[in-house]
Each structure stands twice: as C-alpha cells, then as structure tokens.
A = this chain, B = another copy of it.
C-alpha cells in the first residue's frame, strides 16, 4: 500500500479531524495532516534539512498551481519560490479546503493576492520586494471584489452554486481566468476578454493526487524505481498531461482566445 485516500465526511464531526491526523504522513497523499498544512502556510517546502523529501500539498490548490506553471504565469526566469513576483491574483472564495490554502501558496510564491469572500477582502503578500520569507495577511476594510478585479492579471474562482458569476466588465482585458468550482463561475463571454480560460481543473486534480502518491514515497527522484501501482499512476499523469497539450478533451481544459 502506497497511499491512503479517505472519503470524507465519514462521521461528519470532529472524529474526521482525528482520522486526518492518524493517517501516516508517509501515506497521506491528500496532504491533510497537521504537519503538511503547517508547512504549507509557513512556506516550508521540505521535510528534511537536506531538501530531499518534499512536503505534500493538498491536491486541489496544487492542481491550480500546476496549471499556472503550465500556462507560464509562473516565470521560470525568476528564482524558484519567487516565480509569481509581479503577478496580481484574485482568488474568489476563502474555504479552508481550497480558497485559503491556494491564496497562501500563491503569495508564498511571490504573488500579490486578493482573497475575496462574502464578508471581506484580505491581502496575502510577502511584502515589498518579497522581503518576508512567508506570506502575511492584511484585512482590506471597505474593499470588495470590484476593487480587486481591475488590478488582477489572474482571476481564480471557486464559488459553489450556479447563481454566482464573476462580473467580467470589471476584469482586466487579457486576464487569465481559472474556474475551480464544479459550477461555471464565468459566463461564456469570458472567452472574448480573457487571454486564457480554464473552465475546470478536475482532470489535473486527479493527476496531482497520483503525483502525491509518487512523492509520498519520498525518493529524491521518484521516476527511476516505481512499484506497479506507481507505474500505473505515472502513466495516468503522462496521459493527463498529454490531454492538456493536445487539447484533446471534448471540453478543452485550456482555451486561448484571440
């Protein structure tokens, strides 16, 4: 057995939190153990001082990161860990499962993040010139989505419910738009204004879950020696990556307008 996925909710109460902590961190492919969550918010990327064992990140936020890397929103000419420096990103929804960890990850990588929820707007940044080692959070009293959208190069939305739509008229021309809600948070007109539109991230999330399965093995490089189940996982990741490249899926995952 290489990894454990638990189909939460099981008890639907605090016993579920107990279960999350009882999974061995060597098998926790979902990245839900306290140690992984702590490392994520603290911008600690490895488990060991030699930087050989990666700390596991939760699948859905990591899927968005991997999509942004693929889309070259991450600038690989900048040093690793700072590759979003200069990017302004709005994340709509601040759930504990996706929205808040995602805002933290993006800010830890150097982005200026506006985290927007029904109640308020929070700013996640590492400060001017990325002088801080990890992100800090500041309340933006009186701010709403209307203040954030005109400033943002990237708009990431994950509001549950089919009523919610991102107000495109406030968005920057050429923004990159990513929807991680199971509902469509962007109306079809997004294609006429965005430079890049990703309508769904499910396939990448599954690939990332399999990636975590491989990384959990904690080999410095996880490709050379694989167990049968790992080989299977690697094949699926390769297939998923190919699907993205070739825009082969009926609903293109990555869509470039213009």
Contacts and interface: CB of A to CB of B under 8 A. Distances in A.
Interface in A95-150: 110, 112, 125, 128-130
Interface in A156-176: 172-176
Nearest to A258: B130
Contacts of A112: 172-174
Interface in A72-96: 72, 75-79, 82, 85-88
Interface residues of A, number: 34
A218 interface: no
Contacts of A192: 128-129
Contacts of A28: none
A71 B151 CA distance: 22
Contacts of A43: none
Nearest to A192: B129
Contacts of A193: 128-129
Given A72-B75, A256-B77, A256-B78, A86 B128 contact: no
A196 interface: yes
A69 to B, nearest CB: 11
Contacts of A257: 129
Contact of A86 (B70, B130, B174): B174
Interface of A: 70-72, 75-79, 82, 85-88, 110, 112, 125, 128-130, 151, 153, 172-176, 192-193, 195-196, 254, 256-258
Q: Which 6 A-B pairs have CB atoms at the shortest separation, nearest pair first?
A: A86-B174, A85-B195, A85-B174, A86-B195, A130-B258, A129-B192
25 contacts: A71-B75, A71-B77, A72-B72, A72-B75, A72-B76, A77-B196, A78-B196, A79-B258, A82-B195, A82-B258, A85-B174, A86-B153, A86-B176, A88-B172, A110-B195, A112-B172, A112-B174, A128-B192, A128-B193, A129-B192, A129-B193, A129-B257, A129-B258, A130-B258, A151-B151
